[in-house]
Amino acid sequence: MPSSDGPILDAVGLQRSFGSLRVLRGLDVRVGAGEALVIVGPNGAGKTTLLRLLAGLARPSAGEVRVLGKRVEPSAPDARRPIGFVSHQSMLYDDLTVRENVVLAARLYGAPDPGDAARRALEAVGLAGHGEERPPRLSRGLLQRASIARALVHEPHLLLLDEPFTGLDAPAAERLRALLGERLSTGLALVLVTHHLDEAWELASRVAVLAAGRWALDEPRAGDLVQFLHRYHALANA
Amino acid sequence: MREAIRLALVVAAKDIRAELRSKTALLSATVFGALVLVIFNFARDPTALSSTDLAPSALWVTFAFAAMIAMNRAFTVEREHGAFDGLLLAPVPRGALFAGKLLANLAFVAVVEAVALPLFVLFFNLDLSRALGGIVGTAILATIGFVAVGTVFGAMAVRTRFAELLLPVLLLPFMVPPLVGAVQVTSRLLADRPLSEMLGWLRMLAAYDVVFVTVAALVFSYVVDE
């Protein structure tokens, strides 16, 4: 990971509307190297929309997203290169094997040796033995791991995760936490959206609550989870 | 530029590899094409209508609808599991993405046409020894334009719930000019008419290709980005 003086992710004044519905109402998001921002919020708070804006998959109605200083927008493909994204959907092709899917991602991101990059990514998520299987044959948990391998294959500087623990059994969830912790220690910046804060609590450097398109809370992780959950429920129900 | 070409080839190779595995687009389009030709053949009264009069229309109706089935399927795979988001997320210029999808769609439609053409010759009992080169050239000229338009509309439809319905509805009006041109050229080729009688239509087909490939490449980015 190259060192960077500024934040890896710097989003300012993000707004997003769908017709008259204002989903995001002016959010700032800054995440530095080695930092993990964990976002929680009730359904419809705008968490997934926020991740799609940060990934460059949707344009903000106002505001801008910068990753490593480059503005993320459709006409700037290089600005998307440092981003990895795990969404609700696997983004995998059913007619390609898991390995082929990950190799494809490595090729799209210009990895010098796509085959080797895919092998390392699959090993990192514990899928080395499932590379020749096709996604429809995988369980929900294995599919999620393949999706994570796809997102990690180009060794992104910023990793955006939408409910990454969904479908993972306890050992797989622990393995993912260890993997993310290891990448954080080497300078990865992480934004993780979850409904299950207990699974991501130990990873978090900061915890933020998104409610009705605004930050209701954004602070360094402190204290224990139970205390935070009391405050979160009060904020989410406010 | 070299990087954009590389990425376009990666996208096209992915589509072709996936299709060679499933064969769903090619198989359904080819079976459809064969069925249409069979129906045209048996519905025709040979005493009232000669095969050379009906053949150009039959050929191009078959090509057009079979191509639409192939293109529809090509974008359906992108919709499953949000795979198209994976392409949009990657550092691939939208122009390269369009070129890759266009190349793959052209390959699919070319295969469908290559299978349908011998069936057409068989069912309509035509001697194409003199016209074959011209028909293949016309097919190439006519196909490029409407596949470019279909690639854009396919990318637009992939984000909707009614993609399978939307693509034909959007694409059919844009297919009319190249289909009319292709039918006119094909009928003259089958009647062994001189090239001068076809030049106007061939120019129209070439102009359609230039205009619509350019426009399609320019608007693709606006179509795929939210």
Sign of the torsion formed by the C-alpha atoms of A86, A89, A95 and A97:
positive
- Write out chain B residues lying below 8 Å of A71, CB-based: none
Distance CA A14, CA A28 (A): 6
The answer to whether the Cβ–Cβ distance between B91 and A104 falls below 8 Å is: no
Please give the helix or strand (H or E) that residue A189 lies within, else none.
Answer: strand A189-193
Cα–Cα distances in angstroms (integers) from residue B68 to residues A73, A118, B2, B44, B74, in the given order: 32, 35, 31, 25, 10
Report the pLDDT value the prediction gives residue B74, as an integer from 0 to 100: 76
Smallest Cα distance from B93 to chain A, Å: 6
- Look at A65 and B44; give whichever has higher pLDDT: A65
Is residue A27 a contact partner of residue A14, using CB atoms and an 8 Å limit?
A: yes
Residues whose CB falls within 8 Å of the CB of residue A88, separated by 6 or more in sequence, listed in order: A48, A162, A163, B82
Is residue A12 a contact partner of residue A63, using CB atoms and an 8 Å limit?
A: yes
Tell me which of A34-48, A156-170, B24-38 is least confident: B24-38
Nearest-by-Cβ selection for B83 from A79, A91, A100: A91
* Residues comprising chain B, all counted: 226
- Write out chain B residues lying below 8 Å of A83, CB-based: 89
Question: Torsions phi, psi of A199, nearest 5?
Answer: -75, -20
The answer to whether the Cβ–Cβ distance between B85 and A105 falls below 8 Å is: no
Residue corresponding to tokens 């080395």:
A128
> Does residue A44 form part of some domain?
yes
Average pLDDT, chain B: 88
Sign of the torsion formed by the C-alpha atoms of A177, A180, A184 and A190:
negative
Q: Does residue A162 carry a pLDDT above 90?
A: yes
- Write out chain A residues lying below 8 Å of B224, CB-based: 74
Report the pLDDT value the prediction gives residue B202, as an integer from 0 to 100: 96
Of A2, A54, A58, the closest CA to residue A31 belongs to A54
- Nearest-by-CA chain B residue for A16: B226
Average pLDDT, chain A: 90
Residue pLDDT, tens place only, B64-120: 988 888 888 778 888 888 899 999 999 999 999 999 999 999 999 999 899 888 888
The answer to whether the Cβ–Cβ distance between B14 and A56 falls below 8 Å is: no
Domain locations in chain B? Answer: 2-224
The answer to whether the Cβ–Cβ distance between A89 and B3 falls below 8 Å is: no
Q: Is A25 on the interface with B (CB under 8 A)?
A: no
- Write out chain A residues lying below 8 Å of B92, CB-based: 77, 108
Question: What is the count of structural domains for chain A?
Answer: 1
Report the pLDDT value the prediction gives residue A33, as an integer from 0 to 100: 94
CB atoms closer than 10 angstroms to residue A202: 12
> Does residue A204 form part of some domain?
yes
Contacts 24+ apart (CB under 8 A), A196-204: A196/A163, A196/A165, A197/A38, A197/A40, A197/A225, A197/A228, A197/A229, A197/A232, A198/A225, A199/A165, A199/A173, A200/A36, A200/A38, A200/A165, A201/A38, A201/A225, A201/A228, A202/A177, A203/A36, A203/A38, A203/A177, A204/A36, A204/A37, A204/A38
Strand partners, A220: A206
Q: Is A87 on the interface with B (CB under 8 A)?
A: yes
Q: Is B210 on the interface with A (CB under 8 A)?
A: no
- Look at A75 and A194; give whichever has higher pLDDT: A194
Pair type for strands A62-67 and A9-18: antiparallel
Is residue A51 a contact partner of residue A126, using CB atoms and an 8 Å limit?
A: no
The answer to whether the Cβ–Cβ distance between B90 and A80 falls below 8 Å is: yes
Q: At what angle do helices A114-124 and A140-152 cross, to 10 degrees?
A: 130
The answer to whether the Cβ–Cβ distance between B18 and A93 falls below 8 Å is: yes
Residues whose CB falls within 8 Å of the CB of residue A37, separated by 6 or more in sequence, listed in order: A29, A31, A190, A191, A192, A204, A205, A206, A207, A208
Smallest Cα distance from B190 to chain A, Å: 41
| Local structure of B120: helix, strand or coil | helix
> Does residue A13 form part of some domain?
yes
Smallest Cα distance from A234 to chain B, Å: 34
- What is the percentage of chain B residues whose pLDDT exceeds 70? 100
**What's the mean pLDDT in B135-148?**
93
Return the residue in A16, A52, A91 with the most chain B beta carbons within 10 A, the one to mutate for interface testing: A91
User: Domain range for residue A228?
Assistant: 1-82+157-163+187-238
- Write out chain A residues lying below 8 Å of B80, CB-based: 93-94
Is residue A191 a contact partner of residue A31, using CB atoms and an 8 Å limit?
A: yes
End-to-end CA distance of chain A: 41
Q: Is A59 on the interface with B (CB under 8 A)?
A: yes
Q: Is A229 on the interface with B (CB under 8 A)?
A: no
Residue pLDDT, tens place only, A104-138: 999 999 999 999 999 999 998 888 999 999 999 99
Strand partners, A25: A15
Smallest Cα distance from A225 to chain B, Å: 33
pLDDT band at B182 (very low <50, low <70, confident <90, very high): very high
Is residue B212 a contact partner of residue B147, using CB atoms and an 8 Å limit?
A: no
- Write out chain A residues lying below 8 Å of B88, CB-based: 56-57
- What is the percentage of chain A residues whose pLDDT exceeds 90? 61
Is residue A37 a contact partner of residue A192, using CB atoms and an 8 Å limit?
A: yes
- Write out chain A residues lying below 8 Å of B81, CB-based: 89-94, 135
Q: Does residue A2 carry a pLDDT above 50?
A: no
Distance CA B146, CA B106 (A): 10
Question: Torsions phi, psi of B219, nearest 5?
Answer: -90, -10
Q: What is the CATH number of the domain that holds A72?
A: 3.40.50.300
- Nearest-by-CA chain B residue for A153: B90
The answer to whether the Cβ–Cβ distance between B225 and A85 falls below 8 Å is: no
Smallest Cα distance from B24 to chain A, Å: 11
Distance CA A164, CA A147 (A): 9
- Look at B163 and B185; give whichever has higher pLDDT: B185
Report the pLDDT value the prediction gives residue A3, as an integer from 0 to 100: 46
Is residue B151 a contact partner of residue B72, using CB atoms and an 8 Å limit?
A: no
Distance CA B139, CA B60 (A): 9
> Does residue A203 form part of some domain?
yes
pLDDT band at A5 (very low <50, low <70, confident <90, very high): low
In the sheet that holds A70-71, the strands lie side by side as A21-31, A9-18, A62-67, A70-71
| Local structure of A27: helix, strand or coil | strand
Q: Number of Cβ pairs closer than 8 Å across A and B?
A: 86
Residue pLDDT, tens place only, A18-29: 888 889 999 999
pLDDT band at B121 (very low <50, low <70, confident <90, very high): confident
Report the pLDDT value the prediction gives residue B192, as an integer from 0 to 100: 86
**What's the mean pLDDT in B112-141?**
88
Report the pLDDT value the prediction gives residue A1, as an integer from 0 to 100: 47
Nearest-by-Cβ selection for B81 from A78, A90, A105: A90
Residue pLDDT, tens place only, B6-56: 999 999 999 999 989 988 888 888 888 888 888 888 887 777 777 778 888
Report the pLDDT value the prediction gives residue B26, as an integer from 0 to 100: 83
Report the pLDDT value the prediction gives residue B157, as an integer from 0 to 100: 83
> Does residue A238 form part of some domain?
yes
Q: Is A97 on the interface with B (CB under 8 A)?
A: no
